[in-house]
Structure 1
Amino acid sequence: MHLGVFTVLFSQKTIEDMLDHVAAHGLEAVELGTGGYPGSSHCPLDELLESEPDRKRLLHAIHSRGLRISALSCHGNPLHPQKAIAQEAHTLLENTMKLAELLEVPVVNTFSGCPGDSEQARYPNWPVAPWPHDFQELLDWQWNEKIYPYWTAIGQEAKSRHIKIGLELHGGFSVHTPGTLLRLRERAGDAIGANLDPSHLWWQGIDPVQAIRILGRESAIHHFHAKDTSMDKSNLSMHGVTDMQPYSKLLDRAWQFRTVGYGHDLKTWADIMSTLRLVGYDYVVSIEHEDGLMSIEEGFSKAVQNLKQILIREPLTEMWWV
């Protein structure tokens, strides 16, 4: 496995300064945002699509520092019921796949999106209970009319471009659990997989180790985010896991994102790394820093320090003790 970082936390730095900073910390990969929610400060999508010299300069800047691009990320909602919003996210995803092919980047990360409740809807509708039965009828309509058709077409295109799609299992979107990912993958094909982020699993009550085993058996983990979550028991009893308070209300929220090792101990993270190795994942562990209690630099540095202790890097050539 290789240690990397989702570079959007360094959006204030030039790409050269960012790459120098990342390389100085001993990392081996960068995940670049191309637009949507992450922005595109280090990867101007349109310019790179149009200019081969610009693409060569970008790759030289990265490779000359001993780094590589683990993924291009364009998180958005291509299933949004407002057509203009959906079209913008779709165009971004299409163009990101084109750029990934040109740069020979194997993975594009995004969200599945979430449709509304009808063709007349204005906002996404994320059902979270099977009853009343309206929710089941809504869910069936969303999957059959929106989710399956869209992602089946994207899966076919991704495969034709020799890339994989890593869907982040994020609450508020239709694909948010191992089960919903496998449901989609069965119809849309194996180009669709997970950008597995434990932080979004913990607050849903999902054990990331078990999620890795479930998805790893299907070779359905295409990329991995290293981000932690802490749970506040008293606030959890007040607000539940679907706490809708702003992330800035740190004292009141049921859960909040933390840097690696500050929500769960390093034994838990070591179990995660071991299980990734167990299921054959030997790609990049990409740090994502969204800790409301730490500065960018401190959160990033502590994540690097903690992960370096537990990342499994060397291949096992033989079981010499057997």
Structure 2
Amino acid sequence: MLELFAAHGMTVSAVSCYENNLIGDLVERARVHEHLRACVRAAAALGVPHVGTFIGRDAGASVAGNLREAERVLPGLVRYADDHGVRLVIENCPMEGWHPDGYPGNLAYSPELWDWMFDLGLYLNFDPSHLLWLGIDPVEALRSVLVSGRVSHFQAKDIEVDERARNRFGVFGKAVTRARPEDTGWWRYRVPGRGQLDWNRIIDTLYCGGFDGTVAVEHEDPVWAGAWTRQGLEIAVETLRPLIR
């Protein structure tokens, strides 16, 4: 596999295991944790430095209760990854679709929670697109967190916000007519260059903060999907390539 990637001038920056590590069903949680450990072993065998995952949340418990439970169960997974020379990087996606009422289902969505999870030995897979609709300035958040040295991976994804639609649905999105969890009605993810994020400032902030890791495009743009996926990735490359030296 590594030979195939090398032949095409490619490397693997992370293995993905984006499941709910705090899910309330303990049988399912055990399966999730075993899958995460298997991904750690796979990453170690391939020489891949990161495994991306979520903190998650037990939707039947309070935030405070979830934080206490995470402090109990996650350090063992961090130690397992450390023993294999792998970092667990947590994406800051709210995963509101995991909560029955659309509240955050992944307790890693804000800078406050990043400080908390760093204390557990976890790293951040920074995705600026999630911050804009939460009312957080992505550039300011990135600037403040880079000093921690815990941003180990970066996901380049854009976002388009419809402020008029937000006036109808509110920040939590559609309640009656939502067709799927991500159908909020007032924002949607875009490829870099087709949304509202300032990629010149974002990439410059990464450089100023000393970031030397991977900038990986995450393609969740509904416009450039399906048969147009490749074109969407090409738009992302055209947007980012002039900014990355």
Could you state the TM-score of these two structures normalised by the residue count of structure 1? 0.67
Tell me how far apart the structure 2 counterparts of residues 91 and 248 of structure 1 sit (CA, whole Å). 26
The CA deviation at 1:167 is 0.4
1:101 aligns to what?
44
2:78 aligns to what?
155
The CA deviation at 1:64 is 1.9
Q: Deviations over 1:61-109 (max 9, x none)?
A: 0112221111111100121112233222211111001111111111110
1:83 aligns to what?
26
Gaps of 5+ in 1: 1-57, 119-137, 314-322
Tell me how far apart the structure 2 counterparts of residues 179 and 156 of structure 1 sit (CA, whole Å). 23
1:142 aligns to what?
66
The CA deviation at 1:141 is 1.6
Structure ID, larger Rg: 1
AA aligned opposite 2:118: R
CA separation of 1:249/1:155 partners in 2, compared to 1, >3 Å: closer, same or farther? closer
2:184 maps to 1:260: no
- Aligned residue pairs: how many? 229
The structure, 1 or 2, with the larger RCO (C-alpha pairs under 8 Å, 6+ apart) is: 1
2:221 maps to 1:287: no
Tell me how far apart the structure 1 counterparts of residues 24 and 181 of structure 2 sit (CA, whole Å). 28
Question: Counterparts in 2 of 1:1-322, with a 5 A limit?
Answer: 58-118=1-61, 138-144=62-68, 146-171=69-94, 172-186=105-119, 188-189=120-121, 192-244=122-174, 245-246=178-179, 253-264=185-196, 268-294=198-224, 295-311=228-244, 313=245
Tell me how far apart the structure 1 counterparts of residues 182 and 37 of structure 2 sit (CA, whole Å). 36
Maintained 8 Å contact 1:117/1:142: no
AA aligned opposite 2:237: V
SS in 2 for 1:70: coil
The CA deviation at 1:222 is 1.1
Q: Percent identity?
A: 28
The CA deviation at 1:247 is 5.9
Could you state the TM-score of these two structures normalised by the residue count of structure 2? 0.88
Gaps of 5+ in 2: 95-104
